[in-house]
Amino acid sequence: MQFKKFLSLVLLAGLAGCAALPSSGPTGKQIRQSAIDPESGVSIRLVEVQTGADLPYSTTDTNAIHLPDIAPPPTDRVGPGDVLDIHIYEAGVTLFVGGAGNSAGSPGVQMQTLPPSRVDDEGNIVIPYGGKLHVAGRTVGEVETMVQQALTSLSQNPQVLITLSQAITNSVIISGEVARPGRLVLQTNRETLSDVIALAGGYRGNAKDLTLRVVRGDQNMDLRVNDLTDNPQLDVRAHPGDRLMLINNPRTFSVLGGSGRSEQLPFARTSVSLAEAIATAGGSNPAMGDPAAVFLLRYVKNAQGGEEPVVYHMNMMKTEGYFLAQRFAMQDRDVLYFGNATANQPSKVIQLISQLFLPIITVTSAVQTMQNSRQSP
pLDDT at residue 21 in the model: 42
Give per-residue burial for 24-55: e unless 16+ CB within 10 Å, then b: bbbbbeebbeebeeeeeeeeeebbebeeeeeb
Report which of residues 338 and 357 the model is more confident about.
338
Contacts 24+ apart (CB under 8 A), 16-20: 17/352, 18/345, 18/348, 18/349, 18/352
- Integer Cα distance of 171 and 175 in angstroms: 13
Which 3 state secondary structure label does DSSP give 34?
Answer: helix
Report which of residues 143 and 152 the model is more confident about.
143
Considering the domain boundaries, does residue 12 fall inside one?
A: no
- Integer Cα distance of 169 and 120 in angstroms: 12
Are 12 and 365 within 8 A, CB to CB?
no
Tens digits of per-residue pLDDT, 286-306? 888 889 999 999 999 888 878
pLDDT at residue 156 in the model: 79
CATH classification at residue 52: 3.10.560.10
Tens digits of per-residue pLDDT, 79-99? 999 999 999 998 766 777 654
pLDDT of residue 360 exceeding 70, the answer is no
pLDDT at residue 193 in the model: 94
Question: Do both 68 and 177 map to the same domain?
Answer: yes
Give per-residue burial for 307-340: e unless 16+ CB within 10 Å, then b: eeebbbbbbbeeeebeebbeebbbbeebebbbbb
pLDDT of residue 136 exceeding 90, the answer is yes
pLDDT at residue 196 in the model: 96
Are 174 and 245 within 8 A, CB to CB?
yes
Of 116, 131, 166, the residue at which a domain comes to its end is 166
Of 151, 166, 181, the residue at which a domain comes to its end is 166
Question: Do both 183 and 314 map to the same domain?
Answer: no
Q: How far is CA 361 from the centre of its chain?
A: 59
pLDDT at residue 28 in the model: 73
Which 3 state secondary structure label does DSSP give 316?
Answer: coil
Question: Do both 147 and 203 map to the same domain?
Answer: no
Question: Do both 68 and 205 map to the same domain?
Answer: yes
pLDDT at residue 112 in the model: 87
pLDDT at residue 18 in the model: 45
Considering the domain boundaries, does residue 263 fall inside one?
A: yes
pLDDT of residue 283 exceeding 60, the answer is yes
Considering the domain boundaries, does residue 302 fall inside one?
A: yes
Considering the domain boundaries, does residue 150 fall inside one?
A: yes
Q: How far is CA 362 from the centre of its chain?
A: 59
pLDDT at residue 65 in the model: 54
Q: How many domains does the chain have?
A: 3
Tens digits of per-residue pLDDT, 105-130? 555 678 889 999 999 999 999 999 89
Question: Do both 34 and 92 map to the same domain?
Answer: no
Tens digits of per-residue pLDDT, 4-59? 444 444 444 444 444 444 455 677 777 777 777 766 667 788 999 999 999 987 65
What Å distances lie between residue 31 and 292, 294, 341, CA to CA?
Answer: 12, 10, 12
Considering the domain boundaries, does residue 213 fall inside one?
A: yes
Percent of the chain with pLDDT over 90: 49
**What H or E segment, with its residue span, contains residue 10?**
helix 2-16
Provide mean pLDDT across the span 342-351: 48
pTM equals: 0.69
Are 339 and 294 within 8 A, CB to CB?
yes
Of 248, 269, 298, the residue at which a domain comes to its end is 248
pLDDT at residue 147 in the model: 95
Which 3 state secondary structure label does DSSP give 293?
Answer: strand
Report which of residues 364 and 148 the model is more confident about.
148
pLDDT at residue 370 in the model: 60
CATH classification at residue 124: 3.30.1950.10
| Beta-bridge partner residues of 46 | 311
Considering the domain boundaries, does residue 127 fall inside one?
A: yes
Provide mean pLDDT across the span 216-223: 88
Question: Do both 48 and 92 map to the same domain?
Answer: no
Question: Do both 261 and 323 map to the same domain?
Answer: yes
Across the chain, mean pLDDT equals: 81
Question: Do both 260 and 226 map to the same domain?
Answer: no
| Closest residue by Cα to residue 202 from 222, 168, 225, 173 | 225
Question: Do both 230 and 314 map to the same domain?
Answer: no
* Phi, psi (rounded to 5 degrees) for 361: -65, -40
Considering the domain boundaries, does residue 1 fall inside one?
A: no
Amino acid code (one letter) for 158: P
Question: Do both 121 and 106 map to the same domain?
Answer: yes
pLDDT at residue 62 in the model: 47
Percent of the chain with pLDDT over 70: 76
Question: Do both 210 and 199 map to the same domain?
Answer: yes
pLDDT at residue 374 in the model: 59
Tens digits of per-residue pLDDT, 145-204? 999 999 988 887 889 999 999 999 999 999 999 999 999 999 998 999 999 999 999 999
Q: Which domain holds residue 90?
A: 83-166
Question: Is residue 230 very low, low, confident or very high in pLDDT (cuts 50, 70, 90)?
Answer: confident
Question: Do both 126 and 44 map to the same domain?
Answer: no
Considering the domain boundaries, does residue 34 fall inside one?
A: yes
Lowest mean pLDDT among 105-109, 239-243, 305-309, 362-366: 362-366
pLDDT at residue 359 in the model: 55
